[in-house]
Structure formats: C-alpha cells, structure tokens
Amino acid sequence: MALDESALPELLDALRAGDGVNLIRDAVRLVMQELIELEATEMIGAARYERSDGRTNERNGHRPRLLSTQAGDIELKIPKLSHGSFFPSLLAPRRRIDQALHAVIMQAYVEGVSTRSVDDLVQALGIDSGDLEVAGV
C-alpha cells in the first residue's frame, strides 16, 4: 500500500513537529484513510479518476466520520457512491445510545445484578430510573 502524495507532506510536518500524540494520531488517521480508500477501490473496481472496464460504480464525494481512539478523535472521510452505499469493514456501525444503554441494563439483569445497583448505575448516567423502560425487566 502506497501513501497518497497529498498525505506525505502532512506526515512529514508531523514528524518535524515531534509531538508524539499528534504524530500517532496523524499516522493512525493516514493509515486508516488509506485502508478505507483501498476497500472502496476494490468494491468499485477502479481507483479514483481511473477509467476501467471492470468499474461497477462511481465515487460521489465523501462524508465525515469521527472515530474516537486512545490517541484522540480522528476525522475520517468515508467515500460515497453514486449507486448504493459503502461502509468500510474496518469500522463498526454506530449504535444509538439508548439501544446500548438498554443492552447494558438487560445484561446486568440477566447476570443477577441487584435492581438497586442497576438503579444506581442509571442515576450515575444522569437518567431518571422511572423514565427508562426495558422490556422484560
């Protein structure tokens, strides 16, 4: 995998600055972005601006996606397609927070955590326990 020529000056600037966390964040962003672009290229059947008989779709810009990592938040660009949709296998689709919260509470119930402890958890998250309704609990 070769880095895009436009990405190389950014990486060199980060190396010269010598800021460790920013260097790691920029390196992760560059590598992940290249992997996303590579996967899109394989799905489409042609690279950006490449004419090919094997092309099955066309790119239609990008949409932003914020990815939280231990090095900080990384802004990625997910390619949009003219026909259909594309989501990289490298990333996990987002779940709505209420679905995740319900899943946590149901798992606590299944594992036998006391209702008082679950109530304390819900209050610590800033939710009134009476407003949260979980099926079967």
Phi, psi (deg, nearest 5) at residue 55: -65, 130
Structure token pair of residue 116 = 């008082």
Alpha-carbon separation of residue 95 from 99, 101, 102, 112 (angstroms): 7, 10, 11, 25
Each of the 137 residues of the chain gets a pLDDT tens digit; together they read 555 666 667 667 766 776 666 777 888 888 889 999 999 999 898 888 888 888 888 888 999 998 877 777 889 999 999 998 888 988 877 656 666 677 777 788 788 888 788 777 777 766 654 444 444 44
* Predicted pLDDT of residue 133: 42
What is the reported pTM? 0.58
* Predicted pLDDT of residue 20: 65
* Predicted pLDDT of residue 136: 40
72-81 vs 59-69, strand pairing mode: antiparallel
Distance CA 119, CA 9 (A): 52
Distance CA 62, CA 40 (A): 11
Provide Rg for the chain, Cα atoms. 21
* Predicted pLDDT of residue 129: 44
* Predicted pLDDT of residue 78: 93
